[in-house]
Every structure is written in structure tokens, then in C-alpha cells.
Amino acid sequence: MRFRRAIGWAVAQGYRWGRRRTLEALRSARARLPVAFHAAEAGEVEAILAWFKRAGVLAQVDLTFDDGWTPFAETVRVLEAFEKPATLFIAPGQTLRGRVWTDGTTVPQRQALYALDEATRYAQLQAWGIDRARHLLTREEVCALARHPLVTVGNHTWSHVSCPHRPLAEVLDEVDRAQAVLTAWCGYAPKAFAYPFGRGTAELDAAVRSRGLVPHYTRPGLTVGEAGSARNLFYEGMSLAENVGRLLMAWPKVGETL
């Protein structure tokens, strides 16, 4: 795992430096720079934020973390050091389970799971013998972090469902269920929503916005537009396969994304 993370981090760094000229142009335009993390260690986040600070664009960065992986508990001290707020997107069903359903899967396996409902997905994972230990923050930790002045919790569906691959009614039930639970946990209603796997559609965007949520696309790209609905300029992932797959947009083409 450590070796794969090192390679994945190297891929992310290559992507980061390859966009330097674009970053300079965006800095001149005073554009917002959406930046997504997942299971990054505190030191990795610190290195990127330091780079943004040296580049003079830290104030322009919209910082998000998907899923609530355990390293985020240590990352809070980095946010404090840089006085940088962040949105932590939580799928509460995954929090209670202690892991995300992609953990331990290959890219082909993951793609095969997209079209399955929650119960069938976990039955398939058991059939494959994939059952990882806890990698996510606990409910108690999420509730505590939600009260931190630099952390705002966002909606990430109930079970980390691939939204364009499921019926609209099911997706909205996932969103509503997560919203109710997170509101109870955090003491406030989330205002932001992040699509699991960074995949949404125009129809889903409209439905999410009708619920008072701003949709986020936490995948890499170079689209800078309305705050909270642009693809991310930089991306950190857990493995080489995940980084390369996302950097090359190598995911099923379903619907239209912003």
C-alpha cells in the first residue's frame, strides 16, 4: 500500500507541475481553484498548500476532502496552520460501515459495481472476498470535526452511489437520507453536495440544486466556473490506478458533466 501511495502521489505531482502555466494564468484572473483530496496524509496536504501559498493563490483555493478518511483527523492541524477552511464530504452509510465500497477493488471491478444497488454491491464484494479494515473516520469523529471552525461537512450521498448509473428516484433518496442524517450529526444542514466518483448529469444537477445544495465535481479537469461546480484542478488518490484513471478521465461515459 505504501509503495502504491508513493507512485500515486508521484503521478499527482506530475499532473500538478504540468499545470503550472495554467495556474499562473488563473492567478492573474483571480479565479477560484477547486482542489480535491481523498486519503492524503497530513504531510502531503501541507506540501501542496505550501506550494499554493508560495504561488500566491492559496486564498483562491476551494479545498475539499471526500469520504472522511482517517488521515483527515491529522490534516486539521495543517488547516489550522494555514488558516484554511475545507469542506469534508461524508457518505454517512459508509461512515457507519467504516470503509468505502471501492476499497480493495480493481478498476474493472469498480466499474462493474457502478450499476448495482447498495445491497447487491456488498454481496458482490463478499463474493470476491474483499473486506478491508476500517479506513474512515467514525461517526463520533465526524460529529466533532463538524464543529471545528475550519471544517464544514457536505453531502456525499448515503452509500457513495455512482449517481448517473442509478435511477433518479434512488439517487435523490440517497441524497435526502444523507442530508437528514448529517444534519442530525452536525447540528446544521449541509449546503454542498459532491458526486461520488465525480460523475453527475444536468438532470441531477437541477435536482440537487432544488434541494438547496451546490453540486461539486470532485474529479480533475480544467473547467473553472461557478464556485462549487467546477472540476478540480488538482487531485490526490490512493493508488496509481486511481490517479491515472481519473487523470485520463478513464471512467464510464454516462450523461453530461459540467
Where do the structural domains in the chain lie, given as residue ranges? 2-247
pLDDT on residue 31: 59
List per-block mean pLDDT (blocks of 10 residues) for the chain, which spans 258 residues.
Answer: 47 51 58 73 83 80 88 95 96 90 76 84 86 83 97 96 91 97 97 87 90 78 36 39 40 30
Domain 2-247 classified CATH 3.30.499.10? no
Which pLDDT score is estimated for 22?
53
Q: What is the per-residue pLDDT for 15?
A: 47
pLDDT score at 236: 40
Integer Cα distance of 160 and 223 in angstroms: 24
At residue 30, the pLDDT reads 60
Q: What is the pLDDT of residue 32?
A: 65
